Structure 1
Amino acid sequence: MIGGLASMFKSFRKLWLVLGVLIVLSPLGLIATGTAFGEWGLDELMEEVGFIPAGLEKLADFWTRSPLPDYAIPGLDATLVQSAGGYILSAVVGAALVIAILSLLAKIVKD
């Protein structure tokens, strides 16, 4: 397993470098005003597009608590540096989850 992981990192070295740069740059979202495209709550969605899709409205209360709300580490978001750390941690967690899911799917398909 570790050999396969090492070869994956070696094979896609440039991709990993780009991903790392994007993770480090993720706190740039702190200087943006408003909300990010597609990250709207139901009230903002109604305002932006004029309606709320029925399926989204039905499932809106399914996930009510986020482990990293607003890309912040709860209790550690008072300063810009702490907020930036939350953004970077969120990016690392998100990238790791995507990589893990894709690796699992690739293994299932390969076997």
Structure 2
Amino acid sequence: VDNLGQPLYCPYPLWISIPAMALSHLTIAGIAEGLFTLSLYLFILKTSPNIIYDCQQIKLNSIFSLLAFLIIISPLGLIAEGTAWGEWAPEEILNDTSSGVPLGFIPEKLLNGFNYEAFFPDYTMSGTTDILAYIASAIIGVALLIIIFKILGSIIYAKKQSL
């Protein structure tokens, strides 16, 4: 808080911010993530049980099919209205009326604070549609995760073989 009592980062006090984040994450997001994780586990158990029981050869076709499906549906995020909690643009905070009146200021650190250049800000790419940019971002993210897990798997496998 600055010397005028205005917040430097988030315009809401902790007694509003923490319950707002905790309630949505402990109820909706937590349950959804748990169900999603359980669904993926059951899917892998059904299509490639050897990966779970004894790390044998994996049937990747079904897993890649699932990944392709998830990549294709990633633009569904575009139909969501509003912005996620804490991902506000400075102008959105200035005009926020959730307390009944416009907030009327932008926290100082949001104007002059941390800033970085993302490769694909807001999952957009110049010269393409938002839908294609979402799909391309998903492809790049999945590819990077596959590479990272492949490298980590090779390291772990090599360590097991040397024991």
Q: Which runs of 5+ in 1 are unaligned?
A: 1-7, 45-59, 77-81
Deviations 1:50-75 (A, max 9, x none): xxxxxxxxxx83x7111111111124
- Write the distance in 1 (CA, Å) between the matches of 2:122 and 2:141: 13
Q: Which has the higher helix share?
A: 1
Per-residue deviation at 1:84? 0.2
Query: 1:12-68, CA deviations, whole angstroms, 9 ceiling, x for partnerless residues?
Result: 21111111001001111111112347x736x89xxxxxxxxxxxxxxx83x711111
| CA 110–66 in structure 1, closer or farther in 2 if over 3 Å, else same | same
* Structure with larger RCO (C-alpha < 8 A, sep 6+): 1
Quote the residue 2:67 is aligned against: 19
Larger Rg: 2
Q: 1:36 to 1:21 in 2, by over 3 A?
A: farther
Equivalences for 1:1-111 in 2 at 5 Å? 11-36=59-84, 40=87, 61=114, 64-76=116-128, 82-111=129-158
Amino acid at match of 2:118: S
CA RMSD in angstroms comes to 2.8
Q: 1:99 to 1:64 in 2, by over 3 A?
A: same
SS of structure 1 residue aligned to 2:82: coil
Identity over aligned pairs, percent: 36
Specify every segment of 5 or more residues in structure 2 that has no aligned partner in the other structure, as ranges.
1-56, 93-112, 159-163
Runs of 4+ in 1 over 3 A off after TM superposition: none
Number of aligned residues: 82
Contact residue 26 and residue 87 of structure 1 kept, 8 A: yes
- The amino acid across from 2:130 in the alignment is S
Does the C-alpha gap of structure 1 residues 99 and 36 become closer, same or farther in structure 2, counting only changes over 3 Å? farther
